[in-house]
Structure 1
Amino acid sequence: MSLLFLTTGGTIDKLYFDALSEYQIGDSVVERILRTARVALPFRVAELMRKDSLELTDADRATIRTAVEGAPETRIVITHGTDTMTDTARALAGMAAAGKTVVLVGALAPARFAESDATFNLGLAVATAQVAAPGVWIAMNGTVFDGAKVRKDRSINSFVAA
């Protein structure tokens, strides 16, 4: 079994610049996290884009879908911003029929921050990608959600079953 990690940007890869008082998306931290965790499973990381999920377009989602469909791997983790993660999950509908297990994951705080949920969420996504049935899943907040039956509850800053 081999895993593919597709990076799209989002908070997980954000940097903070004090002089600018804003976040910018930097190089992906996914491979560093996987190496630090000593993930022994074969994997590869491919960067698709560096965007905040609020900036993702239908064309971007089509690019993500094309990358998933064209990948030789059947188990794929996509790092993604949390604000529109559910939109991308819906755009990936039908992966079960293609025999693909796709797990979207993100973070509510950048991975570069000490108090980030990124490492935990990515670990959950790695485990989910290995054992979940083909389909589209979201791994966030210690829970695995069906990608078609989840929403982000902004009032509690967490994902909940829909």
Structure 2
Amino acid sequence: MADILILTTGGTIDKLYFDALSEYQIGDSVVSRLLAVARAACDVRIVELMRKDSLELTDADRAAIAEAVRTAPEQRIVITHGTDTMTETAAALTGIPDKRIALLGALAPARFAESDAAFNLGMAFATVQVAPGPGVWIAMNGTVFPAGSVRKDRTSNSFVPV
């Protein structure tokens, strides 16, 4: 069993842009590369669940994410996710016993030089390691929000308390 399970679901963090029209595709996850660059010492297991923009996630997708969390042997779980519906997935995970879960995303793809992806990943890692007990959190914009107490503000392009 790993110290931390990372579930990847897609979202901007893993997007690849191909042309001036901003056509994109969700590519291979960059999580292992970000962890290598950070020299992360935790034992991790990475599982790709899906490659979807979060606006395309369905209730069935959220049920699959919840099932992966519920059945994982690890108690510390980090989930990469698109930012548009991250709060909905966090709500679907609330109440799963004995798990410390942190969701993170990026407002710019991790492959971009000025992305927030690495910082958010670090925040999520810290959250599942030091959280006082089971629960669900969102790690974005240098803040850790308990699930249900945050929303994405599209005007400021940031996460803010509810």
TM-score using structure 1 length: 0.96
The answer to whether 1:146 aligns with 2:146 is: yes
The AA in structure 1 aligned to 2:87 is: T
Pairwise mapping of residues 5-154 of structure 1 onto structure 2 (< 5 A)?
Answer: 5-18=6-19, 21-95=22-96, 98-132=97-131, 133-154=133-154
Q: Could you tell me the percent identity over the aligned residues?
A: 73
Shift of 1:46: 0.3
2: CA distance between counterparts of 1:134 and 1:49? 25
Q: CA-atom RMSD, angstroms? A: 1.1
Q: Answer with 57-66 or 15-24: which moved more.
A: 15-24
How far is 1:21 from its partner?
3.4
Q: State the 1:36 CA deviation.
A: 1.4
Out of 13-22 and 79-88, give the one that drifted further.
13-22
Structure 1, residues 43-75: CA drift from partner, whole Å, max 9, x if none?
Answer: 110000000000000000000000000000000
Structure 1, unmatched stretches of 5+, are: none
TM-score norm. by structure 2 comes to 0.96
Structure 1 consecutive aligned stretches of length 4 or more whose deviation exceeds 6 Å: none
Corresponding letter in the other structure for 1:83: D
Secondary structure of the 1:63 match is helix
Report the secondary structure of 2:136's partner residue.
Answer: strand
Equivalent residue letter for 1:124: M
Residue 87 of structure 1: SS of its match in structure 2?
A: helix
**Number of residues of Structure 1 aligned to a counterpart in Structure 2:** 160
User: How many Å separate the matches in 1 of 2:136 and 2:48?
Assistant: 19
